[in-house]
Amino acid sequence: MNTTRARLLAGILALMLAPGPGHVAAADAPPSDNGEGDWAQTLREARGQTVYWNAWAGDQRTNAFIQWVGEQTEARFGVEIRHVKLSNTAEAVTRVVTEKAAGRDQSGSVDLLWINGPNFLSMKTQDLLDGPFVRDLPNSRYLDLSPGSANTTDFTVPTDGLESPWRLARFVFNYDAARVDDPPRTMPALLEWARDNPGRFTHPHPDNFMGATFLKQALIELTPEPAVLQQPVEDADFDAATAPLWAWYDALQAHLWRDGTTYPANESEQQRLVNDGAVDIGLSFDPASTAAAIREGLLPPSARVLVPAAGSIGNVSFVAIPYNARHTAGARVVANFLLSPRAQAHMQNIEVLGAFSVLDFDRLDGEQRARFEALPDAPALPSREALGKTLPEPHPSWMTRLIEAWSQRYTR
């Protein structure tokens, strides 16, 4: 009897000490399709872990959002986040490659990595990623994970569950409406506008991601067969596909800011040129960045977003877990929280970050949709509908080849 009573008291005490609903909100961690026990085990393993999230740190709003995510995961799940701030994602990829070469197949230095495109392809082909894990995340129930969807394809490469989506990105122009009455919405129209307004347009250097994206957007619009861009560049006729692009750029360069002899290093420098009145048109891979820049005094209140008429390149930003991560359970908890309606609505808030959500709104209930419907608006913040058609990214090999060809043709 004494033994039985002791066991009963121990069971009651365990229930009293177990984390309550306030620790794991229903919207943040619903039961997994693979069984509630599997995810409960992940939560137990994750508690007390510190996740080293390697992520590009070139945007203060994004850095602040990552800090908020860390505050939330620590309070809710006992998982701390250390933001390892990168200037280039390749820094972290190289670290993982080096660790594998040294035989460090456990306790690696990178737990979670913000990754896209060529970096993902490189890690996938070298078997440097943990998983598949995405369908094990309870909040993946809010995603469209059908084959070929934006959440399952990264620059034409199937993700195969090796990386989890967390934010949408779209290429857009921005311009000062006080100086530009009728902004160009196609690449041929941009050439005509530049001829009429010499020196009033430029773009970041193609060594920078934003400059390379501008070239890719122009290529998609101008190439005679855009479908070939979905193939590896080695399988296509590069010269035939890019001939219209180079003819167009040859005509454009002479009308660029400073006669095309120098270029802004990145999007931030381009934005300063617009704000200072040196040029009239900028570009971004974040449709909300213009409204955010106005709030921060980095662009004039008259700045507005311009979406190319035929649509624009778009992709999803992902997080992945290296094969040798020290804190895999904690990394999965962070990836899952990023997909919660709570986190996605907070991220989409223009007063926070303004990045568009990756969730399928048809999968949300009324209360979850209400989070998004209550978000503040701004004159320079486009709606999802206004963004129009999303154009798929070319295969990663095209970006490398484009940058090389541009440098050969136009570097003096």
The residues pairing with 81 across neighbouring beta strands, listed in sequence order, are 51
Quote the CA–CA distance of 25 and 21 in Å, as a whole number. Answer: 6
Strands (E), 194-257: none
Q: Is residue 13 situated within a structural domain?
A: no
CATH number at residue 216: 3.40.190.10
**According to the model, what pLDDT value does residue 412 have?**
64
Residues 291 and 404 reside in one and the same domain: yes
Domain count of the fold of the chain: 2
| Structural domain that includes position 139 | 36-168+315-380
Residue 235: Cβ-neighbour burial (10 angstroms; 0-12, 13-18, 19+): exposed
The angle at the Cα of 78, spanning 75 to 80, to the nearest 5 degrees, equals 90
The count of other CB atoms within 10 Å of the CB of residue 330 is 30
DSSP conformation class of 223:
S
Is residue 154 located within the same domain as residue 227? no
Domain co-membership, 49 together with 89: yes
Nearest to 285 by CA among 313, 263, 308, 265: 313
Query: Can you name the residues that pair with 281 across neighbouring β-strands?
Result: 175, 201
Residue 104 confidence (pLDDT) = 96
Q: How far apart are CA 171 and CA 192, in angstroms?
A: 21
Whether residues 267 and 299 fall in one domain: yes
Work out the angle at residue 263's Cα, subtended by the Cα atoms of residues 261 and 269, and round it to the nearest 5 degrees.
150
Give per-10-residue mean pLDDT for the chain (412 aa).
38 33 36 62 98 92 95 98 94 96 96 93 95 97 91 91 94 95 96 97 93 95 93 88 97 96 93 95 91 91 94 92 98 98 94 90 94 91 86 88 94 74
> Phi, psi (5° rounding) for residue 390?
-90, 125
Name the β-bridge partners of 108: 325
Residues 210, 143 share a domain: no
Residues 120 and 176 in one domain: no
- pLDDT of amino acid 236: 80
Same domain for 262 and 393, yes or no, is yes
H/E stretch holding 60: helix 60-77
